[in-house]
Chains A and B, each alone.
Chain A
C-alpha cells in the first residue's frame, strides 16, 4: 500500500522551480506552452493550498522502486510539481478515468479545488457520465446549493501520427453541455492566463491543450495573471474576411492570412479562446465589418463549433453577410495513421486560403 508521505524529491530543472514567495521567477521572457501551463499550476498551487492535481502519470513512478516524477505528465506539463508539493497534492492515480474525474468532481464540492488530468480527450468515453450527468448538473439540479469548482485538463488534436483513438477533438461535444465551460488556448500567453482563470472559476471547466502546441514558444509574464473566460482575442485585424479559428488552427489561419495579404486580401483572425462561454459579440461585430466568415476547426464537421458559429452568424448577422459562410474542418471520418492521410485530414493554410478566396475577390494588390 503506497504511503502518502513520500520524501520530497529534488525538483528537476524547470521554469517553475522552487522560489521564495512573492519573488518573481527571473526567467527568460519567452517560454513554451508546456512551461506556461506548468507555471500556472505551480503559482496557483502556491497561492491556494486547496488546489490538488491528479491524473495518470502526472508525476510518475508511484509505487515503483525507481525514479519518481518520472514523466511529470504524458507531455511533461506537471514535471517538478511533485518535488515542491508532495504526494498529497500531486496525486498519481490508477488507470480509471471515471474514478479520477469523478473523485475530482466530488472533492470540488467538498472544499478542495482539484485540477484533474484526462490524458487524452479520447478517454472521455470512460468518464463521460461524470462530465455529462454529474458535474455540469449539480448547481442546477440542486437549486444552486452545490458548487463544483473543478478544472479538467485534457490533450486533444491530431498531427503527430497517433491515429484515431488518440487524436480526436471533442471540444464541440462538451460545448453542447450547459453547466460546463470549455477553454482552448492557442498560445503560451493564453495558456497561462486561461488556466489560472479556469482554476479560479467556480464552475466546472474543461481545458483543452493541443498536442501540437506544447513546444510553441511565446512571451509570458512571470507574475500570475488571468484572462477572462468568454473574451475572444483579435489576433489580426483586416477588412475583407473574418476568420474564426481555435487552438492550433489559429496559427494556421495567421499563416494563411499572411499569404493572402500578398494576394491583396486582408483578413481578420479571431481566436475565441473559449467555446463556452463564446464571445459572440466580437465575432458578430467583425462580420458586420467584413461581411464574410470562414470558421476553421479541426473537429469533424457535423454538429460542431464551426456549425454553431455559422448558425449564430446566419441568425444574427444575416444582413451583413455578402457571401456564404465557409467552414474549414476535418472531414466526416476518423484520424488515419499514415502521415500522408493524416495530413490530408487536417485543415492547413492552403485549405484556409482556398476557402477565403472562394468568397473574396482579391482587391487589386
Chain B
C-alpha cells in the first residue's frame, strides 16, 4: 500500500473539500435561484476523483461523465471558469456552449465530460492509443458509472484496450444506483471478474477512503506506464444528492444519506486520519476550509453577475472551417 506524504494528504484534503463546497453550494443555489440546466452533483464521491487524479500529470488524459464537476476540480480546472460554464455565462470554460455535462479543458488533459452514458469509453481507448503511438508515456483514464458499466461501448472498450494493451484505466464509480436502479441488481456478475475475463487486472476499491483509491490508481497508472496494458478499478462509493437535482431519490431508504454523512463521510474520515497522526493540525485544515469557502463564494458571485454569451456565438465552432 503506497502511503501519501504530508503534502499529498493536504492536497487530497484541499481537492476533496473544494469539490464538496462547490457542489453543496450549487445545490443551494439551484434550490433558491433560477438556474438553467441539469445538475448531477458529486458530493460524497470526492475520494474517487482526488485519489485517481493525484496520480496523473500533464501527459495524461481523463474522460468524465455527466457527473463531472469533481473530476474537473481534481484535475485543476479553474473554479471561476467552471462556475461560469455551469451558469451558462460568457467566460465559461466551454464558452457556455456545453454546460454542466459537457466540460472540457484539453490543456489540463480534460478531454470531455460525456452526456452519453458509456460514450466516452471508446474515446479513452483512442487517447491511450495516441499516447502509445506517440510514446508520450501518458495514460488515459475513463470514469464511468455503474450504469455505464453495462453499456456495449464500455464493454467493447475493455476488449479493445486489452487486445492492444493500451495504457488505459477504467474507473467504475459504483455509487449503488443508475438513476433509480440499483447496481446490485443491474450489474450481472462482478466488475473485477469481468475485468479479469477480459484479461486485465481489476481491483475493488473503498471509495470512501482516498488513500485506498490513491493506492489502487497508483498501481494501475504505473502498470500502464510500463506498457503492460489496461486496468479496471471498481470504486464503491455513494452520492449524497439524487441522480440529478430536483429529481426523486426515494428508492433509497430514508435517512440513508444522513447516516452516510454521519458515519462514512470521506472528508471527515480523511480529516480524522491525518489530524490524529499529529503532523497536521486542525487549524491548518480549517484554514483550508476558509479559503475554499472564499473561493466558491467569489466564483458564485462572479457567475451570477456575468453576462450571457452573445447570440452571435450561436454558429461559431461548428467546424474548423466550412466554406
* Residues of A participating in the B interface, judged by any CB pair closer than 8 Å: 1-2, 4, 50, 52, 88-89, 91, 93-94, 96, 98-112, 114, 126, 129-130, 133-134, 137-147, 178-179, 181, 201-203, 228-230, 277
Q: Which residues of A contact B102 (CB under 8 A)?
A: 137, 141-142
Chain A nearest CB, measured from B229 CB (Å): 8
A181 to B319, CA, bound (A): 9
| 15 pairs from A and B in contact (CB 8 Å cutoff) | A1-B163, A88-B133, A94-B163, A96-B159, A103-B122, A106-B111, A106-B123, A106-B129, A107-B129, A107-B130, A109-B111, A142-B98, A143-B95, A143-B96, A147-B320
- Per the bound structure, the CA–CA distance linking A296 and B63 in Å amounts to 43
Q: Are B153 and A105 in contact (CB-based, < 8 A)?
A: no
A143 touches B127 (CB 8 A): no
- Contacting residues, chain A, for B105 (C-beta < 8 A): 145
Given contacts A94-B159, A109-B126, 19 further A-B contacts (CB under 8 A): A2-B163, A52-B129, A98-B153, A99-B153, A100-B160, A102-B157, A106-B122, A106-B125, A107-B133, A110-B126, A129-B119, A133-B116, A134-B119, A134-B123, A141-B104, A147-B320, A181-B322, A203-B321, A230-B322
B317 engages A130 (CB within 8 Å): no
Question: Is A102 a contact partner of B126 (Cβ separation < 8 A)?
Answer: yes
Contact check: which of A89, A105, A143 meets B317 at CB < 8 Å?
Answer: A143
B61 → A minimal CB distance (Å): 6
Contact B111 A144 (CB under 8 A): no
Partner among A93, A94, A110, A181 whose Cβ is within 8 Å of the Cβ of B127 = A110
Q: A140, B111: Cβ atoms under 8 Å? A: no
Indicate if B134 sits at the interface (CB-CB under 8 A): yes
Q: A4 — which chain B residues lie within 8 A by C-beta? A: 164-165
User: Which residue of B61, B105, B126, B140 has the most chain A CB atoms within 10 A of its CB atom?
Assistant: B126
B127, A134: Cβ atoms under 8 Å?
no
B94-117 CB contacts (< 8 Å) to partner A: 94-98, 102-106, 111-112, 114-116
Chain A neighbourhood of B156, CB < 8 A = 96, 98-99, 102
A1, A102, A203: the one within 8 Å of B121 (CB): A102
CB-based contact B318/A140 at 8 Å: yes
Chain B residues whose CB sits within 8 angstroms of the CB of A114 once the complex forms: 126
Identify the closest chain A residue to B136 (Cβ): A111
Within 8 A of A (CB), among B14-52: none
Q: Chain B nearest CB: distance from A64 CB in Å?
A: 14
The reply to whether B111 and A93 form a contact with Cβ atoms under 8 Å apart is no
| A103-B129, A106-B127, A112-B129 as given contacts; A179 in contact with B318, CB under 8 Å | yes
Answer yes or no: B93 CB below 8 A from chain A CBs. Answer: yes
Enumerate chain B interface residues (CB-CB to A < 8 A).
Answer: 61, 63, 92-98, 102-106, 111-112, 114-116, 119, 121-127, 129-131, 133-134, 136, 140, 152-153, 156-157, 159-160, 163-165, 199, 316-323
A94-B160, A141-B94 known; A178 vs B123 contact (CB < 8 Å): no
- Determine the chain B residues whose CB is within 8 A of the CB of A104 once the complex forms: 126
Tell whether, in the assembled complex, residue B323 and residue A230 are in contact, meaning their CB atoms are under 8 Å apart.
yes
Q: Is the CB of A142 within 8 A of B126?
A: no
Hey, which chain B residues are within 8 Å of A91, CB to CB? 164
B105, B124, B318 pick with most chain A CB within 10 angstroms: B318
| Closest 6 A/B residue pairs (Cβ) | A102-B122, A106-B126, A143-B95, A106-B123, A143-B94, A110-B130
Evaluate whether A129 and B104 lie within 8 angstroms (CB atoms) in the complex, with A103-B122, A143-B93 already known: no
Q: How far is the CA of A94 from the CA of B126 in the complex (A)?
A: 14
- What are the residues of chain A within 8 A of B130 when measuring CB–CB? 106-107, 110-112
Residues from chain A with Cβ under 8 Å of B318 in the complex: 139-140, 178-179
| Minimum C-beta distance from A81 to chain B (A) | 16
Q: Report B-chain residues with C-beta under 8 Å of the C-beta of A126.
A: 152
Query: A277 touching B94 by the CB < 8 A rule?
Result: no
Residues of A within 8 A of B92 (CB): 143
CA distance A3 to B140 in the complex (A): 21
Residues of A within 8 A of B323 (CB): 228-230, 277
Q: B319 near A139 (CB under 8 angstroms)?
A: yes
Q: Which residue of B lies closest to A92 (CB)?
A: B163
- Given A106-B129, A112-B133, A142-B102: A99 and B119 interface contact (C-beta under 8 Å): no
Q: Bound state CA distance, A237 and B240, in angstroms?
A: 69
B95 and A108 within 8 A (CB)? no
In the assembled complex, the Cα of A3 lies from the Cα of B103 at a distance in Å of 36
Contact call B104/A146, Cβ cutoff below 8 A: yes
> Please, how many angstroms separate the alpha-carbon atoms of A50 and B133 in the complex?
8
| Distance A124 CA – B43 CA, assembled complex (angstroms) | 38
A101→B61 CA distance, assembly (Å): 19
Interface centre among A99, A104, A146, A203 (most CB of B within 10 A): A99
Q: Is B319 a contact of A203 with CB atoms below 8 Å?
A: yes
Q: Is the CB–CB distance between B127 and A109 below 8 Å?
A: yes
Q: Which of A50, A134, A138, A178 contacts B134 (CB 8 A)?
A: A50
